[in-house]
Structure 1
Amino acid sequence: MAGKAEKWIRFLRQYGPIARNDNMYDEHIRRSAARSKMKPLLFEHPKEKELLALFEPKASGRTSVILTGTAGDGKTHLCRIVWNKLGGSNEDWETDRVYFHIDTEIAGKETTVHIVRDLTGLPENGESGGFGTKTDLLEFFSHAIFDDDSNSVFLIAANDGQLVDTWARLNRSDDDVDNTGRLLEDLLFNNQQEKVGSRLKLFNLSRISSAELFDRSLDAFVNHEGWQFCYDEAESETALFGDNCPIRRNYELIKEDHVKNRLRDLLELCDHNEVHFSIRRLLLLLANSVLGFAGREAEGKKVNDRLLRAVDVPRVIASNQIAKASIYNNIFGGNLTRYRRKSLDIFNYLGRFRIGHETSNRFDNLLIYGHSDVELQKYFDQFLSNDPFYGADSTYLAAQEQYIEGDDESGEETEVFLELLVSQRRGLFFKIPDAMEDELSPWQLTVFSFAGEYLSKIVKKLRDGQRIEKGVLARLTRGLNRVFVGMLVSSDRELLLATGLSGSASKVSCILEDRVSVAKRMTECIEILGDETGFPILRVSLTEKIWVDLHLTLTRFEFLSRVADGVLPGSFSKECHEDILSFKSRILTASQQRREELGIEEDSMVFRLLELDELGHPFEEFVELGE
């Protein structure tokens, strides 16, 4: 009979990238938990308290709520919590029904709460409470949110993209239906929660920081009672949760600062690249990180879904394949097939950092020759030799020696070693502590070599309310100038606004239209601010009322930083180049607006021709056209 530890591992696999993924629905994972007699991975949702407060007897008013976001953001979970809070039974909720209603007291008044836990799943026909069709229900909702005397409020869960499409298909000749459609478009487009004139709040759960959700997910994951079952039932070194168990090693590593903090950095960088991960995907990432195995079988027995079970552990240890369970590789879905990895957005986006594939001569010399290099040996020992699980084991050392000697005629062994290098580079990315970043920057192992600076000198500074260093602004300005002008400009104290004969998007723009000082001069300046959510904004201010903003995503920061250093990063240059030229066009328009407001007349017969000296410093020559 399986013990609690084995049952916990079996249940945990349900959160991972298995073929039949029960964590696709909140109800399914709860049923699986009930069968296993295990508690599901739960934590307080960031919007839970705010949502529940709207359905209290002492609420300030009666308000309908729409929960939207990507699949797995917790919409169904929150609906169930509200249903239970209002006195609804679990038995009713466990049915296949989509629509529920219950009478309660909200804001001191008797109120009927209508809950639609999945707008897509709501049948077009067939009775839903007192509503004959889906259209009837949605039209009633549209009237209720504009009627202050209505005794009905709604809680509706809908995935991104469904809301606007759903209301577009309704009869928009009804004023309330039409107004509801416009209201939803306005709230979604402007990232607002509510608007005066309606009794509706919209919670866009996909706007919640993935890094914040990761903190909560990780806390629930590592503190689940199932892990204590594993410790309590560990029988030997080669069994589940014994000293040599890779599952135990991965679980203990995910709790260590150097792993969880570096992983959180990656997720925060995704936030600042405008990429959101749902709770479901974060739990999948954690389960795969700990249970993943980059092999099809161990001792002739298949490892199903490439996720370890209790029975697999002794076989993996006996066959000397522990390194194939490396958490550093699993974090990026390295244990999965390429097709499966690409089909899961979280591994797809983490893969775009190219960790494991990006490298430098110094890092590869460390991994290949470090054991015999006087300068690099201390790093090799620290990060590889001293790691008995995922460092330089006998398999790695043998493949390394064969690679150095170059006697692999078929090339098969070389391919194996190159794959091992990918895993070791990923290990280095997590193992190198922050204190050593000046010696060995882990960000050099990614396609975003300025990512560490973006976090420490932009994101953290804004979060702490500190000013951005002048050197960072200067480099970004130099990068902007080189894109704006199309030449290797060295100037970083002022922004050069130039056009070409074919317009502002010319590859080389040598007709100077205006200059904007970086340092504050009168009302002019260039600065980096945080918007209402803390997202970095590069602002070019021309007057107190005229400015132009650019969302300073990680990708744009990396692009401008590399251009400023004289490198055009082809991997993402086209899209970024177009974004920056669009930014330039908007600044030129604002500059024209400033001249009009100040009453500055331009001499159409005189042009300022922009030229560079040998050091790239700009100067201008005036060219006057004859009549």
Structure 2
Amino acid sequence: MAANHGQLLEKMKTAGSDNTTTALVEVVENLLVVGRSGNAAIKLDLRDLSRSAAAVMIDQVIDAVTQHPGWDGCSDCPALGERTCPIRENRERLMGTSDNGLFRRRLGNLVEASEQNGGHFTIRQVLSLVTNIILGHPEARDGLMACTDVADLAAAGTAERASPYRNVFGGNLRPSRAERTEPFRKLNLFGIGAETSNKVDNMLVYGADDPTLVETYRALVQSDPVYGETPAYKRAQQSYLEGDDPTTVARFLGLLRGQRQRLFFTISDELADALDLWDLTVFRYAGLYLETARALAERRPLPRQVMPMLMRGLNRVFTGMLIQNQDELVLASSGSQSQSRTSPLLEEFVSVARRGGEEVALLSDNAGGMTLVVRLARDDPPAVTLQLSTTRFEFLGRVAEGALPTSFSLECHEDLLAFKARLLSALERRRFLDGDDRSDGIVLKFIDLNSDGRASSRSVTVRL
């Protein structure tokens, strides 16, 4: 039995005021709030689906929807065998029978990355998302196909517009409606379709005629005659390349957007690195984020590039300089306030590897994400932590590669400067406990950059 939180409690509270009912209501409230019954005499198995990870839940919903016995009715459909039914096609693609579940895995990756950014998906939102993927078509009533629409859409030659890869982002709906609908609003934050790379666009535009790209084009575009190289796409591509009709440019660019969306879900794992799969999104480091989070959860070694990347990003934010240090955390200040964008004064080098009580590490947060932990001593001061969301991880990755992404910069930069302020406070605490006496003078350590980009210190003593 499934029920809404509020309705369940409301109905139970109006059921009566006897001791048994009151005890049952209390147990339900306890299970919903703290996850424990508190009354061993009442045997109740209550599962709060709102606490379930949507990335796991979406797999269960896909199975429940696509394997429902009602699909057996399709065996009598008159359209069966005559032409491709987009509803059945979308269902089969979502089931993963032909791609070993690649489509649904990538969809789960997006949902998981979104959740780690605070974008929780309710069970109702997951149900509406899966339904839209299967039934979506912009020319159908309310954007959702019924069986009676299939023949007309096929006759009009627009069945390809039922692409499930566009439907993931509400492409079958008016933009204003998609923006107001939570699952599509969250997934559209990834910018899939608008974001791209030269590798992918060159293949989509020139791949059919370029000997160096034709093999990839055949594998990723021509191999899908339903939603890939359709007659409409081929015509628009030719017109675009020949430049004989300016009005086709906008249409081809629209089709190109849909192809980028399709490729995100269909590029094989073997080609993902070569084609920079996550460059098709705003979050280019989301794939690495998910890989790292899973390694932490499963207690496996982390990807080798993760800690060096995070340290470079943090050090560049903390100092305001393009330093290359990645085996130590460079705590710096401006001498007056930790929020300054440029901090030329070195406060401390903190070892990433465990040494003398110091350590910088990544730990699982037991909720699919990760926490950066900096220890300056074994016990006191306590460790300073920073929750790494998908966005913060992306920001540090971009900064580590030498860019300052304006789309992420303001809020993330302030968060990281606040983290630095907490680290500096912990450092002051450690100095106090160590009895660091500076009564005879102050030693200012200025940060100098060596020829290899690594930071070193130059000391200047100020006598008091």
TM-score by length of 1: 0.68
Equivalent in 66, 72, 76 of residue 222 of structure 1: 66
Corresponding position: 1:558 with 2:394:
yes
The structure 2 residue matched to 1:579, chosen from 415, 418, 429, is 415
Corresponding position of 1:444: 279
Q: 1:498 to 1:355 in 2, by over 3 A?
A: same
CA distance in 2, matches of 1:598, 1:213: 51
Write out per-residue CA displacement over residues 516-549 of structure 1, whole angstroms, 9 at most, x where no aligned residue.
1001112111110112434311111112222111
Is 2:107 aligned against 1:235? no
Displacement of 1:243: 4.4
Cα-to-partner distance string for 1:59-94 (whole Å, 9 max, x where unaligned):
xxxxxxxxxxxxxx95368x39xxxxxxxxxxxxxx
Q: Tell me which of 297, 308, 315 is aligned to 1:463.
A: 297
Change (3 A) 1:314 1:76: farther
The one-letter code matched in structure 2 to 1:555 is T
Residue 270 (structure 2) pairs with residue 435 (structure 1): yes
Q: Are residue 591 (structure 1) and residue 427 (structure 2) matched?
A: yes
Shift of 1:625: 2.4
Counterparts of residues 372-411 of structure 1 (less than 5 Å): 372-409=209-246
Partner residue, 1:101: 15
Per the alignment, residue 202 of structure 2 pairs with: 365
Change (3 A) 1:586 1:206: farther
Q: How far did residue 505 of structure 1 move?
A: 0.8
Select 2:356's aligned residue among 522, 533, 537.
Answer: 522
- Please state how far the C-alpha of 1:320 moved relative to its aligned partner: 0.7
Partner of 1:255: 95
Q: CA deviation at 1:155?
A: 6.4
Match of 2:41 in 1: none
Q: Percent identity at matched positions? A: 38
- Which range is displaced more, 211-220 or 584-593? 211-220
Alignment of 1:142-291 (within 5 A): 153-154=25-26, 193=35, 206-230=50-74, 232-237=75-80, 243-256=83-96, 257-291=101-135
C-alpha distance in 1, partners of 2:72/2:37?
Answer: 48
Aligned letter for 2:388? L
The 3-state SS of whatever aligns with 1:333 is coil
What CA deviation, in whole Å up to 9, does each residue of 1:562-584 have, x standing for no partner?
Answer: 11111111111111111111111
Distance in 1 between the 2:461 and 2:258 partners? 63
CA distance in 1, matches of 2:131, 2:147: 14
Alpha-carbon shift at residue 194 of structure 1 (Å): 6.8
Describe the superposition over 1:570-620 as per-residue Cα deviations: whole angstroms up to 9, x where unpaired: 111111111111111111111111222222224652211112123311111
8 Å contact from structure 1 (residues 74, 279) kept in 2? no
- Equivalent residue of 1:623, what SS? strand
Structure 2 match to 1:477: 311
Give distance in 1, aligned partners of 2:52 and 2:415.
25
- Is the CA contact (8 Å cut-off) linking 1:500 and 1:510 kept in structure 2? yes
Taking the aligned partners of 1:402 and 1:534, their CA distance within structure 2 comes to 47
Residues 410-460 of structure 1: CA distance to partner in whole angstroms, max 9, x if unpaired? Answer: xx321111110010001111111112222223211111111111122x112
Deviates more, 1:389-398 or 1:202-211: 202-211
Is contact 1:449–1:558 with CA below 8 Å preserved after alignment?
yes
Given that residues 523 and 542 in structure 1 are in contact (C-alpha distance below 8 angstroms), is that contact kept between their aligned partners in structure 2? yes
Residue identity in the other structure for 1:569: P
Gap change, CA 1:470 and 1:237, over 3 Å in 2 = closer
Q: How big is each residue's C-alpha offset from its partner over 1:161-214, in whole Å with a ceiling of 9 and x where there is no partner?
A: xxxxxxxxxxxxxxxxxxxxxx9xxx98xxx65799xxxx99875443111221
Q: Which residue of structure 2 lines up, in the alignment, with residue 69 of structure 1?
A: none
Q: What are the Cα deviations for residues 353-405 of structure 1, in whole angstroms up to 9, with x where unaligned?
A: 10111001111111111000111111111121121210111111111111112
Q: How big is the shift at 1:467?
A: 3.2
Q: What is the total number of aligned residue pairs between the two structures? A: 452
CA contact (8 A) 2:143 2:173 kept: yes
1:289 alignment partner, SS class = helix
**Relative to structure 1, is the Cα distance of residues 612 and 381 closer, same or farther in structure 2, using a 3 angstrom cutoff?**
same
Counterpart residue identity of residue 88, structure 2:
R
> How has the CA–CA distance of structure 1 residues 607 and 318 changed in structure 2, closer, same or farther, with 3 Å as cutoff?
same
2:21 to 90, 104, 113: 113
Amino acid paired to 1:356: G
Match in the other structure for 1:174: none
Partner of 1:143: none
Higher relative helix content = 2
Match of 2:5 among 70, 75, 90: 75
Q: Are 2:87 and 2:134, in contact at CA under 8 Å, matched by a contact in 1?
A: yes
Match of 1:549 among 373, 376, 385: 385
- Structure-2 residue corresponding to 1:57: none
Q: SS at the partner of 1:101?
A: coil
- Which residue number in structure 2 is paired with residue 344 of structure 1? 181
| TM-score (normalizing by structure 2) | 0.90
Root-mean-square deviation over aligned CA pairs = 2.8
> Residues 598, 243 of structure 1: CA spacing in aligned structure 2 closer, same or farther, 3 A cutoff?
farther
Structure 2 CA distance for aligned equivalents of residues 439 and 540 of structure 1: 35
Q: Distance in 2 between matches of 1:286 and 1:203?
A: 22
CA distance in 1, matches of 2:167, 2:366: 35
Secondary structure of 2:305's match? helix
**1:387 is aligned with what amino acid?**
D
2:152 to 299, 315, 319: 315
Question: Aligned with 1:625: secondary structure?
Answer: strand
Aligned 8 A contact 1:101 1:112 in 2: no
**Higher normalized strand content (fraction of residues):** 1
User: In the alignment, is the contact (CA less than 8 A) between 1:292 and 1:327 conserved in 2?
Assistant: yes
2:178 & 2:426 partners in 1: Cα distance? Answer: 45
- Higher-Rg structure is 1
SS in 2 for 1:504: coil
Q: Show structure 1 runs of 4+ deviating over 6 A.
A: 201-204
Q: Secondary structure at the match of 1:624?
A: strand
Letter in 1 for 2:211: V
CA deviation vs aligned residue, 1:457-488 (integer Å, no higher than 9, x gap): x1120121123244311110011000000000
Structure 1 contact 358–447 (Cα < 8 Å) conserved: yes
- Unpaired segments of 5 or more residues in structure 2? 39-43
